[in-house]
Structure 1
Amino acid sequence: MRTPALLMTAVLIAAAVVACGSGDSGAVTLWMYPVITDQARSVAFWHRVETGFERESGIDLDVELQPWASRQEKLGAALVAGTGPDVVLLQPDMIPQYVGENVLLPVTDVLAGGRRPFPPRVVEALTVDGQAYGVPLYRTVTTTVYNRKLFAEAGITDLPRTWDEVEAAAPKLAAHGIPVLDYAGSTEETLNLTFYPLLWQAGGRVFTPDGRKSAFASPEGVAALRFLADLEKVHGLPPDAATKRTAVAGDAVATGRAAMAHAMTESAARGVIAAFGAQNVAIGLPLRGRSRVTFGTPGGLSLLRRAKNPDAARKLLAYLMSPSVVGELCAESGYFPPWDGSSPPADQVDRDFAQALPFASAGDNHPQARKVMGLLAPHVQAALLGRATPEQALADAAGEADALLGSGR
């Protein structure tokens, strides 16, 4: 077990050097990420987890706190080198890829032994071919957040709840020099928080139901990208929308440089409230296009096939999914527990975000999800830059994606 001082050192250097864990066959190594954003609180929580699990099981636990940046590349390199963790936090759209590469072991038996059943939609997001490959720890959800003050200054009293209403509000806000909608179009951004919620709201999807081809170049996909392109033309997006990154400090809505966001996290919403006051901020349901839907996902712990001691690792998974550990993790992180109605929301912001949970989607469960996202992102950006029409941008991306899917790689 690491000492708190050593854990803090690992966090501060962003885990640049990947540790291999203990050589003891009874030891377990867990790679965890900044679910708890405050470093000191994260270190303290995982130290409590280490000591609690070791006391209960007699198994040595080594928690490696890793950065979000380049997480797939680092995990892939560790797997090739035969190092890395026994248990790792994965998002649902990462799991099918690793299952296809025979990297993960199923954990359906661990879930079956839990003290509290998980909602089917949570388990399904972590399931491939009828087997669960992730133990849910928490749920996230994004939703629409408004700066009431900016809308009021533009003479808009009814906040836009649909695409049509957003488009109608755009020129009025633009006349005051304010984009109606924040958007981060950098190709380094995850489309889960940018284009995909709009695609889903239009009634579209990323892959065909059989998973053999892409589906985003459909009329629904074109409608989603045209919605953005049309806003861009009337100055309804930030001037640098096509290339900008999401920024915790200097968020466009929090700094008054955009009137609303369509897929904001709860922590970011709290930043807007801190900047403008609760009376000037509204948190609504996800926008409605043809459908009302947003991005939200369970975070799950997966068991690697290369685990030194799978039985010890399964004991760790069972320990971590206990209501007491999950409850404390969610309280520290601000995320929602994976169980429905498991605890009352902490405050009004929590209550507002909880109302969006029924509309949350983790996206298409496909082994090429991340690769296709990487292919699509530059084409979405090209449409925002005016270098391609929405139709041409998505058609070009579909050609690349379908070639990838057809290759079987």
Structure 2
Amino acid sequence: MGQPRPGAGHGDRRQQGPDVVYLIPDQLPKYARNIEPVDKYLDDAAKADYLPNVVTSVTIDGKMMGAPVLTSAVTPICNKKVFAAVGQTSYPTSWNDLLAMAPAFKAKGYDVTAYAGDVKNTLNQTFYPLLWQAGGDVFSPTASRSPSTARGPQGAELRQAARRRRLRGQEPAHHPAAIEQTRIAQNKVGCVWHVLPAEIEKFWGKENIQALPHFTESKQIGYGTVGSLSMLRNSKNKDAAGKWIAFASNAENSKKYDLAASFFSAKKSVGALYASDPVLGEQEKQVANSTVGPLNEKARDVQGVLAPEIQAALLGKKSVEQALDDAAKAADPLLG
């Protein structure tokens, strides 16, 4: 929706920036000063139709910084063939369940799970779900400090993650291998929580994917993204841009996009899109139990300093306490 630059000559094809951009929640705080809130461009019915956690995921200082058009829920998925080979007839609902199954998997030559510990992976899909499920959070309530010690849920959960790695086998926790080069693709891993069904279907077969609800420790929660349309503050066509955002994000039009791209709806009125799909249908049920992670301007920066420390703890290069203390020392200055 770009327009010619003011005063540009007939032959000048340079354009100003776009009026509308697509953003996910952890980008919103970083660009908030350049975004026009969309509240006044959406009618009350449209805003009321959004799922509550979806509205929260795009709201900063009481204002909606984007109009959501899609959601996801990255839940655990298990390999039915592996469970059959191990003789395991039930699926885990919690981390305690999974830990209890681990020795039987290991005895048969399988890994009960796999952790993607390369620092290039987003913590939103790897470590943070473990942290949230343990009752922890990435930032303190004032968002002025990162997880600062190993004395709270963060440390307890990282100790559990390290224990899980020792139980499940020796899948590398630090190499950025393509999924086809991992034991996951080789049908040697029972369950994962950071992989999308579409990524693994060609290796497992869709009929062998068992989608599960988010695991529970002290609470049931997991990661899911929200994609939204945001208007840039310097738009010269705000009324037109606002009308287009309202049109593109309405229940009917966003539903078409979601179905084409295998996402879930952000709208209550749409209901279930995948009730007949045994995999996506189960994950769709978890949208309301999903979170996008912290809405903090420094969220991605903090991930950058936490990830190598978490990796060091999982590989046994540092104690959990030392790794988390070192992570806090590196992260806190980023928050001012």
Instruction: Report deviation, 1:260.
Output: 0.7
Equivalent residue for 2:164, pick from 227, 231, 244 = 231
Alignment of 1:164-179 (within 5 A): 164-179=96-111
Q: Counterpart in 2 of 1:285?
A: 213
Q: Counterpart in 2 of 1:345?
A: 273
Alignment of 1:87-98 (within 5 A): 87-98=20-31
Quote the Cα distance in structure 2 between the aligned partners of 1:161 and 1:291: 11
Quote the Cα distance in structure 2 between the aligned partners of 1:245 and 1:183: 12
* Change in CA separation of 1:254 and 1:356 when aligned onto 2, cut-off 3 Å: farther
Equivalent residue for 2:39, pick from 108, 123, 136 = 108
* Change in CA separation of 1:219 and 1:245 when aligned onto 2, cut-off 3 Å: farther
Q: Deviations over 1:17-70 (max 9, x none)?
A: xxxx55277xxxxxxxxxxxxxxxxxxxxxxxxxxxxxxxxxxxxxxxxxxxxx
Instruction: Report deviation, 1:265.
Output: 2.6
Write the letter of the residue equivalent to 1:357.
Answer: V
Quote the Cα distance in structure 2 between the aligned partners of 1:161 and 1:120: 25
Quote the Cα distance in structure 2 between the aligned partners of 1:276 and 1:97: 40
Instruction: Report deviation, 1:334.
Output: 0.7
Q: Counterpart in 2 of 1:301?
A: 229
* TM-score under structure 2 length normalisation: 0.88
Gaps of 5+ in 1: 2-20, 26-81
Q: Counterpart in 2 of 1:366?
A: 296
Instruction: Report deviation, 1:266.
Output: 4.2
* Change in CA separation of 1:246 and 1:199 when aligned onto 2, cut-off 3 Å: farther
CA RMSD of aligned residues (A): 2.3
Q: Counterpart in 2 of 1:184?
A: 116
Single out whichever of 176-185 and 151-160 deviates more from structure 2. Answer: 151-160
Quote the Cα distance in structure 1 between the aligned partners of 2:161 and 2:301: 23
* Change in CA separation of 1:198 and 1:237 when aligned onto 2, cut-off 3 Å: farther
Is the contact made by 1:266 and 1:353 (CA closer than 8 Å) also made in structure 2?
no
Quote the Cα distance in structure 2 between the aligned partners of 1:211 and 1:318: 32
Q: Counterpart in 2 of 1:52?
A: none
Q: Secondary structure at the match of 2:311?
A: helix
Q: Does 1:257 align with 2:185?
A: no
Q: Counterpart in 2 of 1:357?
A: 287
Write the letter of the residue equivalent to 1:94.
Answer: Q
Q: Does 1:203 align with 2:135?
A: yes
Quote the Cα distance in structure 1 between the aligned partners of 2:159 and 2:132: 14
Q: Counterpart in 1 of 2:10?
A: none
Is the contact made by 2:95 and 2:217 (CA closer than 8 Å) also made in structure 1?
yes
Write the letter of the residue equivalent to 1:196.
Answer: Y
Q: Counterpart in 2 of 1:380?
A: 310
Is the contact made by 2:71 and 2:225 (CA closer than 8 Å) also made in structure 1?
yes
Write the letter of the residue equivalent to 2:322.
Answer: Q
Alignment of 1:15-164 (within 5 A): 21-23=2-4, 84-99=17-32, 102-112=33-43, 115=46, 117-164=49-96
Quote the Cα distance in structure 2 between the aligned partners of 1:246 and 1:295: 22
Instruction: Report deviation, 1:374.
Output: 1.1
Instruction: Report deviation, 1:125.
Output: 0.7
Quote the Cα distance in structure 1 between the aligned partners of 2:177 and 2:218: 28
Instruction: Report deviation, 1:114.
Output: 5.8
User: Which aligned runs of 4 or more in structure 1 are off by greater than 4 angstroms?
Assistant: 113-116, 249-252, 269-272
Is the contact made by 1:139 and 1:335 (CA closer than 8 Å) also made in structure 2?
yes
Is the contact made by 1:146 and 1:282 (CA closer than 8 Å) also made in structure 2?
yes
Instruction: Report deviation, 1:344.
Output: 3.4
Is the contact made by 1:206 and 1:216 (CA closer than 8 Å) also made in structure 2?
no
Q: Counterpart in 2 of 1:390?
A: 320
Is the contact made by 2:223 and 2:293 (CA closer than 8 Å) also made in structure 1?
yes
Q: Which has the higher contact order (CA 8 A, sep 6+)?
A: 2
Instruction: Report deviation, 1:330.
Output: 0.6
Instruction: Report deviation, 1:372.
Output: 0.8
Gaps of 5+ in 2: 7-14
Single out whichever of 199-208 and 354-363 deviates more from structure 2. Answer: 354-363
Q: Deviations over 1:267-325 (max 9, x none)?
A: 336445xx3452x3321111111111110121111111232422222222122112232
Quote the Cα distance in structure 2 between the aligned partners of 1:229 and 1:144: 18
Quote the Cα distance in structure 1 between the aligned partners of 2:41 and 2:181: 42
Q: Counterpart in 2 of 1:40?
A: none
Is the contact made by 2:210 and 2:279 (CA closer than 8 Å) also made in structure 1?
no
